[in-house]
């Protein structure tokens, strides 16, 4: 197997505590995390973790970052409906997605989110 084939998946939901849509979406996101145990899922409050966002300004919630290894594959808002992210994960996990362009800010966000996940794991 190639390194890319075994690289870890990371699914990050960028939300805010004050967002009613996010609060409703969290249970859907948590259910997907259980359904996809081979992927790491992170709920990231954009106000609590401003450093992880860098210069990105997230204005539409929920916004999802999807990465594999150090390659960001998707960054954008998703409809807060149960099947939308599920279908994305199915499609992307089948190898149908190409990394975003190298200059895309999503790659730096993925690196910061990965570091945050490691730090959280170290605290647990």
* Domains in the chain, CATH or no CATH each: 7-123 (3.40.30.10)
Contact 100, 72 (CB under 8 A): yes
Indicate whether this model's pTM tops 0.85.
yes
Whether residue 114 has pLDDT greater than 70: yes
More confident residue, 116 or 108: 108
The two structure tokens encoding residue 2: 């190639």
pLDDT at 4 over 70: no
pLDDT at 56: 82
pLDDT, one tens digit per residue, over 50-99 is 777 777 888 899 999 999 999 999 999 999 998 999 999 999 999 877 89
């Amino acid at each position: 197997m190639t390194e890319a084939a075994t690289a870890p998946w990371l699914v990050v939901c960028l939300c805010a505590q004050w967002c009613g849509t996010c609060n409703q979406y969290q249970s859907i996101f948590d259910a997907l995390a259980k359904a996809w145990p081979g992927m790491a899922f992170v709920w990231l409050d954009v106000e609590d973790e401003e450093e992880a966002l860098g210069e990105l300004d997230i204005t539409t919630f929920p916004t999802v970052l999807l990465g594999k290894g150090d390659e960001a594959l998707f960054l954008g808002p998703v409809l807060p409906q149960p099947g939308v992210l599920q279908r994305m994960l199915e499609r992307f996990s089948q190898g149908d997605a190409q990394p975003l362009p190298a200059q895309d800010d999503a790659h730096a966000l993925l690196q910061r989110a990965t570091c945050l996940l490691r730090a959280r794991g170290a605290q647990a």
